Amino acid sequence: MDAVNWVAPKQTPNLVARLFDNKSFLVFICLLPALGLLGVFLTYPLGLGIWLSFTDTKLGSPGIWVGLENFQYLLEDRVFLNAVWWTIFYTAAATVLKFALGLWLALLLNHNVPLKSLLRAIILVPWITPTVLSAIAFWWIYDPQFSIISYVLKDRLHLISENIDFLGTPWHARWSLIFANVWRGIPFVAISLLAGLQTISPSLYEAAMLDGASAWQRFRRVTVPLLMPILAVVLTFSVLFTFADFQLVYAITRGGPINSTHLMATLAFQRAIPGAALGEGAAIAVSMIPFLLLATLFSYFAIGQRKWQQGSDND
């Protein structure tokens, strides 16, 4: 009787089985390779750069800990302060121009225009062209002797009497770099905003037209609010890309003339590699982090304000 009613005792799962039944552990295991790659290629270089910024390391010399000495020196360095001012101005001016022209192109391509698909492909050309190749092209366009711009204005339209020295004077060089950056950045803004525009239902515009809304009112009351999330994302990436720009500036002007076009990124490279002062160059690079964090936080809080889109009080 006892043998018939015998039930095998329930076995308790061992530690390994319990771990693999745990959802959090499985998520961690799946993310571990990605975390390892991020640690090797992101966290370690960033940590090393921050460490070097607090030392007087030179090329070929390990250096010693100097604390905030590099940062104190930079606060008195007129070249660095000029680079900070110019980086902010460069980022602001280029971003405004890219957004104005990019939004205009996106609105244009959102309508039924002839050869719309071909135009979309052509617009991407500046974005997919290698940066150094673009820089070489602009270097020739801005050449003081062979510039096509000077040729047209001087020899064809007779609007000027001598060639423009685009890269020989500070403000000419600065605006030349801004226009080169705008040319490269417009496709990213235009295509991103075009994707956002195509998610807006045409019925919303039809309802606004029935209510008597003008074209400007439809743009301000319908297009802009519905584009706001993607606008915040595109704006953030545009600011980050422009603020940390290096290749375009270094290939065209190398920070000249007279250090007037040095961005923080190009100045950090110049001090660290050609100048052999790794600690000082790292300090300049680390000084960029607060500005980049501000741009990221702006995007985070701007995207979070979506109550109007979700139709609820939850962020």
- Tell whether the torsion through CA atoms of 52, 58, 63 and 67 is positive or negative: negative
User: Is 28 a residue whose pLDDT tops 50?
Assistant: yes
- CA atoms within 13 A of residue 289's CA, in its CB half-sphere: 11
Q: Are 190 and 181 in contact (CB under 8 A)?
A: no
| Sequence-separated (6 or more) residues with CB below 8 Å from residue 193 | 102, 103, 106, 227, 230, 231, 234
pLDDT tens-place string over residues 281-294: 999 999 999 988 88
Domain region containing 278: 71-304
Is residue 248 in a domain? yes
User: What is the CB neighbour count within 10 angstroms for residue 69?
Assistant: 15
Confidence of residue 310 (pLDDT cuts 50, 70, 90): very low
H, E, C per residue of 189-250: HHHHHHHHHCCCCHHHHHHHHHCCCCHHHHHHHHHHHHHHHHHHHHHHHHHHHHHCCCHHHH
* Total of domains in the chain: 1
Rounded distance, CA 135 to CA 126, Å?
A: 11
> Residue 292 domain-assigned?
yes
| Residue 184: closest CA among 230, 137, 146, 150 | 137
Per-residue CA distances from 176 to 140, 143, 252, 281 (Å): 12, 11, 9, 26
pLDDT category of residue 175 using cuts at 50, 70 and 90: very high
| pLDDT, tens digit, 9 for 90 and up, residues 126-138 | 888 888 889 889 9
The CA distance from 1 to 239, in Å, is 81
Residue 16 lies in a domain: no
Per the omega criterion (within 30 degrees of 0), is the bond before 257 cis? yes
11 belongs to a structural domain: no
**205 belongs to a structural domain:** yes
**Domain containing 271 — which CATH number?**
1.10.3720.10
Q: Global pTM?
A: 0.84
DSSP 8-state code for residue 10: P
Per-residue confidence (pLDDT) for residue 16, from 0 to 100: 72
Q: Is 12 a member of any domain?
A: no
- pLDDT class of 36 with cuts at 50, 70, 90: confident
